[in-house]
Structure 1
Amino acid sequence: MKYMSMFDKIDLHLIRVLHTVLTERSVSRAALKLGMYQPAVSAALKRLRELAGDPLLVRSGSGMMPTAAGLRMVEPAAEILLSAEVLFSDARSFDPTTARHTFSVAASDYLDPQFLPQLVIQLKAQAPNCPIEIHPLSADGDYRTHLAQGHVDVVIGNWPKPPGDLHLGRLFGDQIVSLVSIQHPAVRRGWDEAAWLAAEHIAPTPMHPGARGAIDDFLSSRGISRNIVARCPHFGLIPAMVAGSLLVLTTGRHYAERFVDQLPVKVLPCPIEFPRLLYYQLWHERTHASLAGRWLREQIKSVAASLRPAEAQDAVA
């Protein structure tokens, strides 16, 4: 209780007077530097002496010198003033070249495989002192809670119906196609809707039990379903599985085409006309006004735009 009653008597202005008086070693010079009248500085110094139980500043010859207790207060007082300045300046300004803010992004690996590498490269080039944390979107993760609790700043992915309680920025749209091995019969024969539905499909593991992605949601709305025989939580590994089997991966064209020059695979059009896949970044109201958060979202938006061919940049917001 004694500590709290003393703490209640100290304000930031009093700490500034303390630091200025001790470093200037003169009440009159401190008054000039603070833009105060000398009697007001003297009154503040009197309060500080009472709180410290020490003179803090004493006469020495023609000048004044801090006491031993006063000298011990110089550095802590400076740290308090700096912390207070940082506390509020960070909320009002953001300079990526000097900031030390940690950026935390949760992203689906259904994205263009070059997206996250390019994002990290761009963030490190422009904000070299800012740590970056990349989190997966998995069946075990509740991204809405993570956003609300501050565990992540932004979530990137695609959803048939994005949550209405989060802020949303569209990144891009993409045509849905199928990726198959160059040995797949459909490469030679083609396929119709029935053949495509009956083919052996591989799909990502659902985000949570019973969940469907955009493709299966659309099929369900038409009262049909495809033959999913394999699921994998690591989307980046699926193209290699497709290359050595008769499995069919149906996803965005831009993602699929990244693997055509790397693996013996081919991109085929779907015989079903799907709506375009839409990719978003989502964020919580908690970071909506944050200058650091805004800067991060602008970098995500610019990287997404840089990876899209001109004709595909139809959904940037």
Structure 2
Amino acid sequence: MKTFATAGAPHLPAPVAVRRVMHDVLLALLPGIAVQLWAFGTGVAIQIALAVVSALAIEAAALRLRGRDVARALGDGSALVTAVLFALCIAPLAPWWMSPVAMLVAIGLVKQVYGGLGSNLFNPAMAGYAVVLLAFPRLVAQWPATALDPAAAARTIFGATAATTWDSLASATPLDALRQLAAQGQRLPEIGAAALFRQSRPEVWAWAAGAWLLGGFWLLWRRVIGWQATTGVLATVLALTLPFWLLDAERHPSPLQHLAGGGLMFAAWFVVTDPVSGCTSPRGRLLFGAGVAVLTLAIRRWGNIPDGIAFAVLLMNAAAPLLDRVTRPRIYGHGRHG
């Protein structure tokens, strides 16, 4: 028999500590972090450390300015999650100053200016990532084609080694390579055999997608997230891309390529499920996820960047209050006449 934890009378659902939720999210991220460390080297760990330190420092400063309890707020783990999510989106060899800039936007502006945890309209990690992506697109998007040793990664990140020395090791993501080659008139069989596409290491991104899927199942099992937003993303991608792929598999990527070639699987489990900046009603969550999928596919097809997940999420964050209003469940007893 299925049971539910309840509090004392009147037996409402037992409150879940924010700290426990954030720790579960961090645990769910570990498989994906492990894949990126294996594929791209210790630069991933350095970027996570830089983002975490920046996020905690900026949040502590903002809390002091607002006259809030610093220790209590920092202990909830929300700044840690924001920092790690952002660090997993940027290139492992991005310069050290990128994390402080992004965290100033994510924590200082998007989170604290709006009133702190639970009051932010936009997803902080995606807002910080979107800003640095627009401002420094080349530095954000160049992923190493091989894992650098810790010393070489540290020298590059902290500026001791010029970025031009590793240009020959840098590669685009599979989506970016696919976009560039398709613009040259090549079809998918030719693209799959091209050196540029092979250098983007699509198998690594597929392994990472599997790791995010594993972490997502953990969050579902722990009842940290609901199924609706993620289902909205995955089902919409399948519904929109499968017919085109079946009609012409040489021109249109398969649904699996869309899900495993970029950050869509990561976003489906760890970004669109954000309970603060997303929707609260069940139908609203489904529509929110579907909207993220539609906008992401549209940006991939017609936009100037290969993967527009961050912008899709931010646009749907702005639409979330309206979606909640139009999908609000009927109040029990409303419309009935005794």
Normalising to structure 1: TM-score of the pair? 0.24
Which structure shows the higher helix fraction?
2
Which structure shows the higher strand fraction?
1
Normalising to structure 2: TM-score of the pair? 0.23
Q: Which has the larger radius of gyration?
A: 1
